[in-house]
Structure 1
Amino acid sequence: MTQQAQEQEQARGRARGRGRAPDQAPDALAPPRPPGGTRLWPKSFVDRLTAPLPGLRGIARLARESALRPRADGLADIQRLPFEPGPLPRVDDRTLAVTWVGHASWVVRIGGLTVLTDPVWSRKILGTPARVTPAGVAWSALPRVDAVVISHNHYDHLDAPTLARLPRDTPVFVPAGLGRWFTRRRFRTVTELDWWEASELGGVRLDFVPAHHWSKRSLVDTCRTLWGGWVLTDAEGQRVYFAGDTGYGHWFERIGARYPGIDLALLPIGAYEPRWWLSDVHCDPEEAVRAATDLGARRMAPMHWGTFLLSAEPVLEPLTRVRTAWERTGRPREDLWDLPVGGSRVLARRGSGASPG
């Protein structure tokens, strides 16, 4: 038995010992865990994979096809990528507002808190060309950051130079196993959560939910930390789902069933070509729209495109395809929040619609 197979079998055993298989959700929402604290985790989360990771044959095929980046014709529209930075909207503690910084980075204002998702303000990340649109919000324009949520440890979602700019008393909410990365950098309030677990901060509930993805940051840590998305719910029940990085699959229906009434789903639509390589871990635009339906989300805001060139599709294709897919559903056009980088939207009270920031 290979080491990977041994780790997978051990992880399955641990899951059986907890009385719940990794693909099953608890019967009721978990009570929130207090922020911070130290926990013990398995050495591997490979049992949480919903598809096998690519092997050497796949990597060799990718190299032969030279399919890592868009071709010249796919880059022709790079100057047309939507970039419209503006001031952050004014909010109160009963207002839900979002601002797209670029890629998977959002400024989420909810329940009186300012929450950053997967903050990446760096111009360049490891192994990827420099960003093609600047960060949509200047770091100096941010209000006090009340919390950070991280989906997983890939470099385009966990950016050390950006996080180093935060005060070390900033509460950070992370997947299981990733807390040590932050405590080594002297963050003092780090909360690690397993799938379907929750914490609470300032009256806002933060639930960590599954995703069809994986984790890796070095040559020796494949799936040693967990991955997932976040559901943020304020005291009035306003709810936003941040998917992080994910392929399409069964988790969306299960998340929607456990967290009904999602007002806004922040869903990835880019980094999907070639499909034979990326379909298990990245949604394409049509799948993202289908995911919004599975979730029962009232609105969808696309992300994970137009910032870093991570794959081979033309740079503007994700936007045109998601608009077409949304139109085909017959849902109101105003419920697709296809923001430019730097754009904001404010969610009015339920039944009152929404307005731009």
Structure 2
Amino acid sequence: MRLSTCVAVLTVSLLAGCTHVNPYYDAGKTHHRPQGFANNYPSNPAYQRPQVGFFEGWANRLRNWSSDGSERAPLAPIPTAQPDLGFLHANRSEPALTWIGHATFLFQPGNGVNLLFDPVFDERASPLPFAGPKRHQPPGVALADLPHIDAVLISHSHYDHLSQESLRALYRQKGGPPMLYAPLGVDLWLAKNVTGGDRSRIQRLDWWDKAALGDLELHLLPVHHWSARSPWDRNETLWGAWAVTRPGFSFFFSGDLGYSKDIQDIAARFDGFDLAAIGIGAYQPVWYRNSHVSPDEAVRIHRELRVRHSVGMHWGTFPMGQERLDQAPRDLATARAAQGVADDAFFVMRHGETFRPVARDGLHRVAGEAKPAAAAALAE
């Protein structure tokens, strides 16, 4: 394709993006816009990104995508665990959280239901098969080895959280497709790209909405972030965190978020959480912290939400930030010490590892470790 043709196509696409109409627009909601959605609170001016032009910005992205990533390589091998597939397939009564990688988790609330968060099993978190952040660690549990998934919860539309290929495979799983829970606008993408137009297995939610799944309540919560799958659809779909609650247990999944007053708003509506998965990676350079939290901010969120046990995610899988892939756990250890949080209260897991919080006064791990193995190994 000639350059002039490429420019023409890009121009048409950009102009088309300007005409987008938010089909769920509600003028009474401050985070709604006629063309999409917005954050509840302003961005932190201390994390202001340097201003660059459209083409310069995308040129920078392409340079990052094409680099060998050596400056972000881990200082030591990132620990992995052999998944206990027998337990994962048999478990019907015990709360358990398994880290598959990045933001992908299998969560078993203990009521016989299997939930999968932000499933991405692709080799790259990118719209391009030959460029973009390449997976450093294979999935801790292969997609084909998962137990039957009853529901998929999606936080937002970025490629490291929303994978067309992975969702299509899950939708074809033996035993029938899962229910798909998604923020406003992402439901339309799912109907077009995953379910073939069938919306009977898709449920859309706005911030503070909740859906019932058996005795579970699934809450979509406001956090400070943004959405896009191309240069011309920014914020056309909503984003959010998730809370999954049932009598006797509650779980918080942060998705992607920058630190904001949304955390205090969530804390005011929930009486703490038994377990949380909170992002700790992609916080360098500093302007990334309007979209992702640093380990220090993640520990602050852990404290403000009154979480019993938190697991760090969004690190060690895809090189999304400019820090080394294994830097976040070390900075997490520093942040814990500075804020007086115990090592076993906020830790990192190994890819494929399962955490089993069996009681409010203790914890248990599949392999029987007395303390988080990945955290101990990375701290050495």
> Normalization by structure 1: what TM-score?
0.82
**Could you tell me which residue of structure 2 aligns to residue 294 of structure 1?**
304
**Could you tell me which residue of structure 2 aligns to residue 30 of structure 1?**
none
Amino acid at match of 1:355: H
C-alpha offsets along residues 240-272 of structure 1, whole Å, 9 cap, x if unaligned?
000101111111121122111201111001111
The answer to whether residue 134 in structure 2 is matched with residue 130 in structure 1 is yes
**Could you tell me which residue of structure 2 aligns to residue 95 of structure 1?**
94
**Could you tell me which residue of structure 2 aligns to residue 310 of structure 1?**
320
**Distance (whole Å) between structure 2 residues aligned to residue 21 and residue 164 of structure 1:** 34
**Contact kept in structure 2, 1:128 and 1:308, CA below 8 Å:** no
Q: Secondary structure at the match of 2:170?
A: coil
List structure 1 runs of 4+ shifted beyond 3 angstroms.
20-23, 46-50, 52-56, 58-74, 88-94
**Could you tell me which residue of structure 2 aligns to residue 256 of structure 1?**
267
User: What does residue range 165-176 of structure 1 map to in structure 2 within 5 Å?
Assistant: 165-167=169-171, 169-176=177-184
Structure possessing the higher relative contact order (Cα contacts under 8 Å, 6 or more residues apart) = 1
**Could you tell me which residue of structure 1 aligns to residue 209 of structure 2?**
197
User: What does residue range 180-259 of structure 1 map to in structure 2 within 5 Å?
Assistant: 180-184=188-192, 185-186=194-195, 188-234=200-246, 236-259=247-270
**Distance (whole Å) between structure 2 residues aligned to residue 62 and residue 324 of structure 1:** 34
Q: Return 5+ residue gaps in structure 1 as ranges.
A: 24-40
Evaluate the alpha carbon distance shift between residue 132 and residue 64 of structure 1 in structure 2; reply closer, same or farther with a 3 A threshold: closer
Q: Secondary structure at the match of 1:165?
A: helix
Shift in Å at residue 56 of structure 1? 5.2
User: Higher mean Cα deviation, 323-332 or 309-318?
Assistant: 323-332
**Could you tell me which residue of structure 2 aligns to residue 34 of structure 1?**
none
**Distance (whole Å) between structure 2 residues aligned to residue 268 and residue 335 of structure 1:** 15
Q: Return 5+ residue gaps in structure 2 as ranges.
A: 1-14, 367-380
The answer to whether residue 329 in structure 2 is matched with residue 319 in structure 1 is yes
Shift in Å at residue 139 of structure 1? 1.7
**Contact kept in structure 2, 1:105 and 1:118, CA below 8 Å:** yes
C-alpha offsets along residues 144-187 of structure 1, whole Å, 9 cap, x if unaligned?
10100000001110001101111363100000111111122325
**Contact kept in structure 2, 1:173 and 1:191, CA below 8 Å:** yes
> Normalization by structure 2: what TM-score?
0.78
Amino acid at match of 1:44: G
User: Higher mean Cα deviation, 122-131 or 148-157?
Assistant: 122-131
The answer to whether residue 294 in structure 2 is matched with residue 284 in structure 1 is yes
Shift in Å at residue 237 of structure 1? 3.2
Evaluate the alpha carbon distance shift between residue 22 and residue 167 of structure 1 in structure 2; reply closer, same or farther with a 3 A threshold: closer
**Contact kept in structure 2, 1:131 and 1:308, CA below 8 Å:** yes
**Contact kept in structure 2, 1:128 and 1:309, CA below 8 Å:** no
Q: Secondary structure at the match of 2:348?
A: coil
Amino acid at match of 1:109: Q
Q: CA RMSD in A?
A: 3.0
Amino acid at match of 1:307: T
Evaluate the alpha carbon distance shift between residue 332 and residue 247 of structure 1 in structure 2; reply closer, same or farther with a 3 A threshold: same
**Contact kept in structure 1, 2:39 and 2:225, CA below 8 Å:** no
Shift in Å at residue 206 of structure 1? 0.1
**Contact kept in structure 1, 2:272 and 2:307, CA below 8 Å:** yes
